[in-house]
Amino acid sequence: MAESEYKCFVDGLVWATDDYSLGKAFSSFGEIIDVKVIVDRETGRSSGSGIITFASKQSMKDAIKAMHGQELHGSKITVSETQSHGSGGGSKGGRRK
């Protein structure tokens, strides 16, 4: 397993896009560690977005540069670097009285 993972977020996917076809569309940019189309828990259908994990930072950057704003399976997609969640735990809001 790589010491670091370089993930990009892809949005604007059509419902028919699955893990395999998304990975295939991005495979020319370098080694892919993981591909996951995000699925709605209730419907089981694609939410229209996915995450691709590359083995190298350069592969991720090349994919973002080349694919952002392009058409994939008939839909214009946006591709961006995912934001690190850091080590802190989030808060669910203010205190109730």
Structure tokens at 40: 């709605």
How would residue 2 be classed by pLDDT, with cut points 50, 70 and 90?
very low
Task: Give the C-alpha separation, 36 to 89, whole Å.
Answer: 24
Looking at 3.40.50.720, 3.40.50.620, 3.30.70.330, 3.40.710.10, the CATH number of the domain 6-81 comes to 3.30.70.330
**For the chain, which residues make up each domain, given as ranges?**
6-81
Model pLDDT for residues 44-72, shown as the tens digit of each residue: 888 999 999 999 999 999 999 999 999 99
Contact yes or no for 58/51 (Cβ under 8 A): no
Task: State percent of the chain over pLDDT 70.
Answer: 81
